[in-house]
Structure 1
Amino acid sequence: MQALFSSMRVFLRLVWLLELLCVAVTAVNPSLNDDVLGLIVFKADIRDPKGKLASWNEDDESACGGSWVGVKCNPRSNRVVEVNLDGFSLSGRIGRGLQRLQFLRKLSLANNNLTGGINPNIARIDNLRVIDLSGNSLSGEVSEDVFRQCGSLRTVSLARNRFSGSIPSTLGACSALAAIDLSNNQFSGSVPSRVWSLSALRSLDLSDNLLEGEIPKGIEAMKNLRSVSVARNRLTGNVPYGFGSCLLLRSIDLGDNSFSGSIPGDFKELTLCGYISLRGNAFSGGVPQWIGEMRGLETLDLSNNGFTGQVPSSIGNLQSLKMLNFSGNGLTGSLPESMANCTKLLVLDVSRNSMSGWLPLWVFKSDLDKVLVSENVQSGSKKSPLFAMAELAVQSLQVLDLSHNAFSGEITSAVGGLSSLQVLNLANNSLGGPIPPAVGEPDFSSGAHALLNKDCELGRGGFGAVYQTVLRDGHSVAIKKLTVSSLVKSQEDFEREVKKLGKIRHQNLVELEGYYWTPSLQLLIYEYLSGGSLYKHLHEGSGGNFLSWNERFNVILGTAKALAHLHHSNIIHYNIKSTNVLLDSYGEPKVGDFGLARLLPMLDRYVLSSKIQSALGYMAPEFACKTVKITEKCDVYGFGVLVLEIVTGKRPVEYMEDDVVVLCDMVRGALEEGRVEECIDERLQGKFPAEEAIPVMKLGLICTSQVPSNRPDMGEVVNILELIRCPSEGQEELA
């Protein structure tokens, strides 16, 4: 028995020595399969229904051989520095394996189906700069320990999950943070006060939660802040002074809370700010006269508050203004004549106030798309605003709502001069006379063919012509009449594919609202976008009416998000070009004509290239090579060309008198010669941030790489663009 115990002691000692030896080996050579082991352990905890991680092989000596999908390494240290698995349809829980990746700089698991909570040790990786877990189904409370050691952290996104409980107070100690996005969760309680004094922060999005309390004093410390949104929470109290010290602010969204008091006077210092929304609060007092000093404003939404008094005349100084919404307040008086200077104004909404008088003539001489003045009833009557329109030639007005007022007089035939009018609401007034026939319903008596007349044609492409029309309910739509040849012939096949496309929804995609099928006529019915095509804005604009840098960047980012969503849905666009990017009345981009290749009987590259031959300059080189598979990377190429087109204002291919200039080659040559700034659209007159414009052009060139595998995924493109807009150290990799 004693010999047995002695042998057991020897055995246990050998086991202990062996474990000690393993620890010693690991300490001497920490790179010994640490990255492989960590990633394989992580993979074991999740489900990968599409086999995206099939290339992760536990028998590999290193994860840095180039074959591991979604993994990037530092070529010098041969260690994993980035794990990007965006949109891989992964599910399961985030295990502890990632903690072994001690050189990891970026972790992005966005847009998957991951569940469970966050491991408290995830942010303790010494070199970690970017954590993006957005767009999953993660839940539970976020532990204080998650951000207890976060010295190197630059970007945190937990958006679009199901997190609850309080925001960890330790987040306010992450002094290097440049971007925080906790939007679309169920966080409750107050926002940690130290978050409001993070001096390096550029972007803060806490919207769509259940947050309470007040914004504390001290926000003037956030000198680098560009964008802040706390919309759709339960915040209360007065908004303190301090935002006016954040001179780089471009966007403020405090909408749909319970803020009260007046607008802080130091807002007037924010001359770069282009977007302010205070809608749906309890602000009171007058709209301040100093609002006219915020000359960069493009959107001003003060709707559904308690503002009183008259619209200040200084509004006329806001010459970049595109959308003005004062609806649902207690404003009185009439619109000031000075607003005739707001020549870029597209949407004006002053409905549900107590305003009086008639609409000034400048409303009908402007380029407004929508004018909403309904429900401004006061005692007495107003003269009809339509009395003096006989001499006007109004081309752009699409929606005119004068309902529930006290307008009187005759409806004159001059209303017929509103040649673009789609919706006219004169209900509940004291007006008389007939509505001119030019504004009535179109003639549907000839069936669907009556909709498709030449006068209503918006454009033509490889898949057919597009027409605008107004349905019986006054709803304006765009109808694509498909070219029947080469398309799916059976109604069953057509309906199956179209219904799939109809389920694709994204704020930057043109919505497919319906279809019509007969053997001889096939129609797709889309939402109508009043802003027209991006091509028109870039190449057919006149005078000073052209896109600003901020508008161009937003178009680029919105288009990238649309394509990323399509690719996540396993849809390749195949036909990216500026005529297929449309703008709504607010200037937001929407990508159209997506998925039409699904209507071809087979994805034959000859038939496909003939359908998109009008996209000269956008077509990826693999279309000409039979041995190269056509993937979503062809969209990335077209997007890269589009980016260069937007930044330079030049077409992808320019035909000169004795030469042909290819845009990609021109920009690439200018970059090599160190004069890339000369390529930026001269109409901007130098009014652009070089720290954004130049990286955007470099990104465009990377997307137009001749080798498909060298082009980034669209999810990566979105991340890069967001880093360019709100830089962090992650931008070093782009440089």
Structure 2
Amino acid sequence: MRALLNMRALSYLFLFLLLDPVLVVLSVNPSLNDDVLGLIVFKADIQDPKGKLASWNEDDENSCGWFGVKCSPRSNRVIELNLDGLSLSGRIGRGLLQLQSLRKLSLARNNLTGSIGPNIARFENLRVVDLSENNLSGELPDDLFRQCGSLRAISLAKNKFTGKIPSSLSSCSALAAINLSFNQFSGSLPSGIWTLSGLRSLDLSDNLLEGRIEKGIEGMKNLRTINLAKNQFSGKVPDGFGSCLLLRSIDLSENSLSGSLPEDMKDLTLCNYLSVSGNAFSGEFPAWIGEMKSLETLDISLNRFSGQVPSSIGNLQSLKTMNFSGNGFSGNLPESMINCTSLVSLDVSQNSMSGDLPSWIFKSDLQKVLVSQNNLRGGGSLKNPLYSLEEVAVQSLQVLDLSSNAFTGEITSDIAVLSSLKLLNLSKNTLSGPIPAAVGGAVSLKELRLGKNSLVGKIPTSIGNCSSLSTLVLSQNSLSGSIPAAIAKLTNLQVVDFSFNNLTGILPKQLANLPNLHTFNLSHNNLEGELPAGPFFNIISPSSLTGNPLLCGAVVKKSCPSVLPKPIVLNPNTSGDYAPGSLPPHLGHKRIILSISALIAIGAAAVIVIGVIAITVLNLRVRSAASQAPAALTFSAGEEFSHSPTTDANSGKLVMFSGEPDFSTGAHALLNKDCELGRGGFGAVYRTVLRDGHSVAIKKLTVSSLVKSQDDFEIEVKKLGKIRHQNLVALEGYYWTPSLQLLIYEYVSGGSLYKHLHDGSGGNFLSWNERFNVILGTAKALAHLHHLNIIHYNIKSTNVLIDSYGEAKVGDFGLARLLPMLDRYVLSSKIQSALGYMAPEFACRTVKITEKCDVYGFGVLILEVVTGKRPVEYMEDDVVVLCDMVRGALEEGKVEECIDGRLQGKFPAEEAIPVMKLGLICTSQVPSNRPDMGEVVNILELIRCPSEGQEELG
């Protein structure tokens, strides 16, 4: 029997625990004061994943030192509880009822669930309640606010509440702010809400409220902001708004309101925001709008207004945003709007406006102009709307949409002035003539839409200057010629549409390198040949290729003729007046492409004709060339290039991997001192320009005695020429003589990372985001090389270049393979300029040289990029090694002080510090302790995006 009684007692105790935790806590510790008791009970219902409530201890005498708690200094009673943004979950229990002195309760931006009971507002002193941005739900009790005499602000926004707004809300006479937005409240507005004369802000937007907006608002003399948008209100807007003279913002958008706007709104001279978009307002737009002279935003879009835009709009000199789209306006924009000098955004699209586009549009500081889907015309040519472009006046214009109008004529070269333009849409007009090359001057363009016109001529190669382009639509015109290879430079391209034109020729193979493509429509042209080999073109939709019968490849189910591609081999020995050891003076003027067998046949015939004497003369000239440095190998105008009838071993040999050489003539000197870009351990680098304007960088290798034989040299160089990666400088070809070896690389315009970090002008300064991208790009390049079993051996900031898009490109890779042997002494002497980057194993002959040498150098590079300091810096009486300095700062907890001071706090510490720690791991003295570069790439990507929901920091 006693055992049965004990079991019953335990059952009752368990039931007590479930029903009233307050009583349980009281029974365990009856000495707790009310605030400690209430908060401990509240905590029992809450899950705290971040452990922020760990300081809440029931053994404390009071709760004044607890996280999120503020007490009155006089009474030590809790007056504020602020637990915003802590990812708390669970429900709001009855424990808070113990906090009788509470003035502010803020639990916003958490994951709290459940409903709100009728007791939540039963606090005599409660002034602020903020439960916004949670997952609370259910209906609010109608008597929820019956004891809210002191309540001044309540926000239940962004939850899932349903039902009607409690009528008891009108009893909160001290209320100054109500925010019930982004819920599912339904029914009509409580009639008593207009009696809250002290109300300053009312936000009931994004709900399911319906019915009419009843009269009575005129009593709210202190109202500053009212937002009833995105509900189901209907009928006319009542008079009375004009009595709220302090109103600054009115938003009635996206309802079913009709009729006209109440005329007394004209008295709201302080109002700067008025939006009634997405309703059924009709009739002519009232001219009294010009009396609301403080308006900065006026949005009446998607209504049924008609007639002309009133000229009184010109009185709104503070107006910044004007949206009249989606109405029935006719006529033209009034000339008086030239007085709207603050206007930034103008949208009158989807109306019935006609006439010429007003000239004042291009003489203002407008950033956004949308006039699409009207009947506007441009007179005899498009020069009319763009006729007076002045560079100073239109520097700000970023969006220009003139689509679906009646513009005719040609696109003029004046368009180059729009250097800040990001979107240009001229589609669905009747434009003719060619696309001007000047379009390349609009260097900020992200979207260019010229489809459905009558444009002719070729696609200009200058479009390759628009490096930010993501959308390029030229469809349904009469464009001809081939697709320029310059398109492949636009690495941000996502959508391309060239369909329904007269384009011909073979698709440039470089298009395969576009990394972000998801649409490329080439249908209904006259293109031919094989599709570029790449991930996108292997899965391109066949519908994007229809109407090109000469295209071939697996996607179009048509085999291509088998052609074995060979590198172009040119023998530059001609009867011209130059030394055989130098490059030909006029490459590309008359280019002859010969196979190796043809060269042998011609050479043999030439030997018979010319004889021993010619060979002897050539040899003497080779020795002469070898005895002096070819410091200025120029390409002179007027000299023809043809093949020499010789196969002498000292003959020069030029090989280009991807096309015919086409060097400029005249003043451009291949190895001219004035064109020198820099010098490194393996030689000096010069810049020259091909005839088509394409720049290349030419490295003149030094210490010829250390270079392998011609056969071995060519084998290694051709291997390097096959390596392609967006973060590696591409090797485009080479030139060989026994006394001179040149490597021809793509030219990277942005200069070296070293210059950006240390050569100091503000124009070269790198932001944190740019630095992180350089580090990540360099890591990807090295990981790719290591995957191909290639060790760089010479990673340093002067060998990392930055292209015009801000991408890192690693150069000088694999050059150690051109040496006869990978001797440590030779390597050390060749990369002696890389002081501070060399792994310690270079000094120890018993340790194998592996990819971990590159990892060490990369780790030093990370620290250099983040700190802005050189790997080794010489002070007046000391030498500072960067790795040691950062490692010491980390041990002292001061690593953040090492970050480049020029960033001035504009960096995310949660990225910068882990990146520096990664740099220290990469510079471990023991090679096996360093990660692989593939692992480094993964780590960096995790640092940048630790979770799928986290936004990327710029």
Per the TM superposition, whether the score is higher than 0.5 is: yes
Hey, what does 2:464 align to over in structure 1? Answer: 442
Aligned residues of 1:237 and 1:258 also touching (Cα < 8 A): yes
Rate the CA distance shift 1:361–1:488 in 2: closer, same or farther, 3 A.
closer
Is the radius of gyration larger for structure 1 or structure 2?
Answer: 2
Superposed counterparts of 1:330-729, under 5 Å: 330-377=328-375, 384=381, 386-387=383-384, 389-390=387-388, 392-393=390-391, 394-440=394-440, 441-443=463-465, 445=488, 481-482=770-771, 490=779, 520=810, 608-611=896-899, 613-614=901-902
- Mapped to 1, the partners of 2:106 and 2:40 lie a distance apart of 17
Find 1:309's aligned residue among 307, 310, 324: 307
Contact preservation (8 Å) 2:382, 2:410: no
Change (3 A) 1:38 1:520: farther
Single out whichever of 273-282 and 441-450 deviates more from structure 2.
441-450
Q: 1:603/1:142 Cα in 2 relative to 1: closer, same or farther (>3 Å)?
A: farther
Paired residues of 1:375 and 1:403 also in contact (CA < 8 A) = yes
SS at match of 1:145: coil
The answer on whether the counterparts of 1:359 and 1:385 sit within 8 Å (CA) in structure 2 is no
The C-alpha deviation readout for 1:580-616, integer Å capped at 9, x for no partner, is xxxxxxxxxxxxxxxxxxxx99995755445452365
Q: Higher mean Cα deviation, 432-441 or 306-315?
A: 432-441
CA distance in 2: counterparts of 1:243 and 1:31, whole angstroms: 57
In 2 relative to 1, CA 465–396 (structure 1 residues): closer, same or farther, beyond 3 Å?
farther
Aligned residue identity for 1:134: S
Q: In the aligned structure 1, how far is the partner of 2:747 from the partner of 2:68? A: 49
What is the CA–CA distance in structure 2 between the aligned matches of 1:479 and 1:56, rounded to whole Å? 39
Q: Which residue of 2 aligns with 1:73?
A: 71
Q: Distance in 2 between matches of 1:401 and 1:110?
A: 41
Q: TM-score, normalised by structure 2?
A: 0.47
For residues 221 and 116 of structure 1, the distance between their equivalents in structure 2, rounded to whole angstroms, comes to 36
1:98-118 deviations in Å (ceiling 9; x for gaps): 011110000000011000001
Cα deviation for residue 314 of structure 1 reads 1.0
Question: Contact 1:452–1:467 at 8 Å: present in 2 too?
Answer: no
Whole-Å separation in 1 of the counterparts to 2:163 and 2:888: 51
Are the aligned partners of 1:486 and 1:601 in contact in 2 as well (CA < 8 Å)?
no
2:409 maps to a residue whose letter is: G
SS in 1 for 2:226: strand
User: C-alpha deviations, 1:667-724, integer Å up to 9, x for none?
Assistant: xxxxxxxxxxxxxxxxxxxxxxxxxxxxxxxxxxxxxxxxxxxxxxxxxxxxxxxxxx
Check conservation: 1:72, 1:81, Cα contact below 8 A: yes
| RMSD across aligned positions (CA) | 3.8
Residue 176 of structure 2 corresponds to 178
Aligned counterpart for 1:106 among listed residues 104, 107, 119:
104
| RCO comparison, higher one (Cα < 8 Å, 6+) | 1
- 2:747 and 2:379 map into 1 onto residues whose CA distance is 38
Look up the match of 2:45. Answer: 45
Q: How much does 1:416 deviate?
A: 2.5
Give the drift of 1:491.
5.2
- Displacement of 1:77 in angstroms is 1.3
3-state SS, counterpart of residue 424 of structure 1: strand
Contact 2:357 2:378 survives alignment (8 Å):
no
TM-superposed CA distance for 1:395, in Å, is 1.5
Q: Specify whether residues 466 and 90 from structure 1 end up closer, same or farther in structure 2 by C-alpha distance, changes over 3 A only.
A: farther
Q: CA deviation at 1:272?
A: 1.2
For 1:89 and 1:492, the matched residues in 2 are separated by: 39
Tell me how far apart the structure 2 counterparts of residues 414 and 405 of structure 1 sit (CA, whole Å).
20
CA contact 2:158–2:183 (8 Å) conserved in 1: yes
1:369/1:49 CA distance change after superposition, 3 Å: same
Q: Distance in 2 between matches of 1:418 and 1:166?
A: 53
Tell me how far 1:488 sits from its aligned partner.
10
What SS does the aligned partner of 2:70 have?
strand
Q: CA deviation at 1:329?
A: 0.2
- Please tell me the residue identity of whatever aligns with 2:200: R
Provide the residue aligned with 1:59 in structure 2.
59
What is the identity, as a one-letter code, of the residue corresponding to 2:225? S
- Which secondary structure does the structure 1 equivalent of 2:306 belong to? strand
Match of residue 729 from structure 1:
none
- The aligned amino acid for 1:49 is P
Matches within 5 A, 1:224-373: 224-373=222-371
Decide whether aligned partners of structure 1 residues 238 and 98 sit closer, same or farther in structure 2, where only a CA change above 3 A counts: same
Question: In the alignment, what sits opposite 1:658?
Answer: none
| 1:215 equivalent in structure 2 | 213
Q: 1:525 maps to what in 2? A: none
Residue in structure 2 matched with residue 159 of structure 1 by the alignment: 157
Matches of 2:763 and 2:110, distance apart in 1: 38
- In structure 2, the residue matched to 1:673 is none
Report what 1:706 is aligned to: none
In the TM superposition, residue 175 of structure 1 has moved relative to its aligned partner by: 1.1
Q: How many residues were matched structurally?
A: 480
Q: CA deviation at 1:407?
A: 1.8
Instruction: Check conservation: 1:162, 1:185, Cα contact below 8 A.
Output: yes
- Give 1:121-140 correspondences, 5 Å limit: 121-140=119-138
Contact 1:407 1:431 in 2 (8 A): yes
Contact 1:357 1:383 in 2 (8 A): no
Q: How far apart, CA to CA, are the structure 1 residues paired with 2:193 and 2:747?
A: 56
CA–CA separation in structure 1 for the residues paired with 2:43 and 2:171: 32
8 Å contact kept, 2:362–2:388:
no
Aligned residues of 2:464 and 2:489 also touching (Cα < 8 A): no
Structure 2 CA distance for aligned equivalents of residues 257 and 312 of structure 1: 25
What is the CA deviation profile of residues 110-162 of structure 1, one whole-angstrom value per residue up to 9, with x for unaligned ones? Answer: 01100000121111110000000001000000111211111110000000000
Q: 1:336 offset after TM fit, Å?
A: 0.8
- Once the two structures are superposed, residues 331-383 of structure 1 have per-residue CA deviations (whole angstroms, 9 ceiling, x without a partner) of 011011111111111110000000011111110011111111010138x9855
Shift of residue 493, structure 1, vs aligned partner: 14
Q: Distance in 1 between matches of 2:809 and 2:205?
A: 49
The residue type paired with residue 83 of structure 1 is L
Task: Label 1:447 to 1:303 Cα distance change in 2 as closer, same or farther (>3 A).
Answer: closer
> The residue matched to 1:403 in structure 2 has which SS?
coil
- In the TM superposition, 1:28-39 aligns within 5 A as 33-39=33-39
Q: Determine if contact 1:255/1:280 at 8 Å carries over to the other structure.
A: yes
Q: Which moved more, 1:604-613 or 1:32-41?
A: 604-613
Name the residue aligned to 1:144.
142
Q: Quickly say closer, same or farther: Cα 1:369–1:447, change in 2 above 3 A.
A: closer
Cα offset for 1:487?
A: 7.2
- Contact 1:491–1:517 (CA<8 Å) still a contact in 2? no
Deviation at 1:276, TM superposition (A): 1.0
Task: Quote how far apart the aligned CAs of 1:413 are.
Answer: 2.2
Q: TM-score, normalised by structure 1?
A: 0.60
Instruction: Give the match's secondary structure for 1:144.
Output: coil
Distance 1:266 1:346 in 2: 28
Note if contact 1:465-1:482 (Cα within 8 Å) is conserved in structure 2.
Answer: no
Structure 2 alignment gaps of length 5 or more: 1-21, 441-462, 466-486, 492-725, 727-745, 784-804, 812-865, 867-885, 909-954
Is the partner of 1:324 in helix, strand or coil?
strand
Structure 2: how far apart are the matches of 1:111 and 1:286? 44
Provide the identity percentage. 62
Distance 1:447 1:221, change over 3 A: closer
Where structure 1 has 5 or more consecutive residues not aligned to the other structure, the ranges are 1-21, 469-477, 495-514, 522-574, 576-599, 621-735
